[in-house]
Amino acid sequence: MIIIAGPCVYENEDVAFKTCDFLMNLCDKYGFDYFYKTSYDKANRSSVHSYRGPGIEEGIRFFERLKKEYGVKILTDFHSEREAEIIKDYVDILQVPAFLCRQTDILKAAAKTGKVVNVKKGQFMAPWDMKNVVEKLKFFGAKDIMLTERGYSFGYNNLVVDFRSFPIMKEFCDTVIFDVTHSVQLPGGRGDASGGERRFAPYLARSAVACGVDGLFMEIHPNPDIALCDGANMLNFDMAEKLFDEIKRIRDALWM
């Protein structure tokens, strides 16, 4: 089981290191393959006044410190061809954001780095349409590809998860991930920011594991209520620990 988890965006070293330490120990306890996740820039925030992150230069400095301190594997998202080339030497997985998943030049840039590429399925994309995304990546030389389900737009400011997505995408991609916390997001639900319903996250996570996904993507923060981005749908440490125990038992039951 792959676990991709961490704060939505880099806020400060204290939050980042505290979260990494907690999640590394938790994944070690349950035998999960852990990747630390955070963003150096959130280019798709609802409002121009929202916190985006420290930018790519500070992001690189942080990733270097994190690698030195913990030796952890890292995933981050990028938003332009230039960024892919700059950030590739500091992370293990490059993530294509959902809103950019059809952009051929973005996919080409990710593939050309030689890194593992994780593509978030757009909120506007049917699962079978992601086959074209995989074919683009392979055409440009990508070898290791992951697809992540993160919910589908259902009316205004709401998302739903179609659990048929997992077996459908497994037909043409070896590694399928479920984004637990963004799937309970309410995009733009607060007018100038997105809302969320974190209380539903464990239900969706348990269901996805029962469906046989290869891993879970989760945004986790020591205190989500004061987080600078996506706090309404992020999990706190207590919720994460309880959920990890549950998904471990479900996973074990499936493979006994």
Tell me the C-alpha distance between 114 and 131, whole Å.
20
Q: What is the mean pLDDT of residues 177-191?
A: 86
Q: Position 137: which residue type?
A: L
Q: Which pLDDT band, with edges at 50, 70 and 90, does 255 fall under?
A: confident
The predicted structure's pLDDT at residue 189: 61
For 81, the domain range is 2-255
The predicted structure's pLDDT at residue 190: 62
Tell me the C-alpha distance between 112 and 169, whole Å.
23
**Residues 152, 182 contacting (CB under 8 angstroms):** no
Q: State yes or no: pLDDT of 18 exceeds 90.
A: yes
SS3 call for 107: helix
The predicted structure's pLDDT at residue 215: 98
Give the percent of the chain with pLDDT over 90. 87
pLDDT tens profile 91-149: 999 999 999 999 999 999 999 999 999 999 999 999 999 999 999 999 999 999 999 99
- Domain of residue 57, CATH code: 3.20.20.70
Q: Would you say the pTM of this structure is higher than 0.75?
A: yes
Q: How many domains does the chain have?
A: 1
pLDDT tens profile 24-83: 999 999 999 999 999 999 887 777 878 888 999 999 999 999 999 999 999 999 999 999
The predicted structure's pLDDT at residue 192: 59
The predicted structure's pLDDT at residue 249: 97
Q: State yes or no: pLDDT of 22 exceeds 70.
A: yes
- Helix, strand, coil percentages (3-state) for the chain, rounded to 5, are 45, 20, 35
Instruction: Provide the pairing of β-strand 185-186 with 195-196.
Output: antiparallel
Mean pLDDT of the chain: 94
Q: What is the mean pLDDT of residues 196-207?
A: 94
| Structure tokens given for 26 | 């938790």
Beta-carbon count within 10 A of 12 CB = 12
Tell me the C-alpha distance between 37 and 7, whole Å.
7
Q: What is the mean pLDDT of residues 208-228?
A: 96
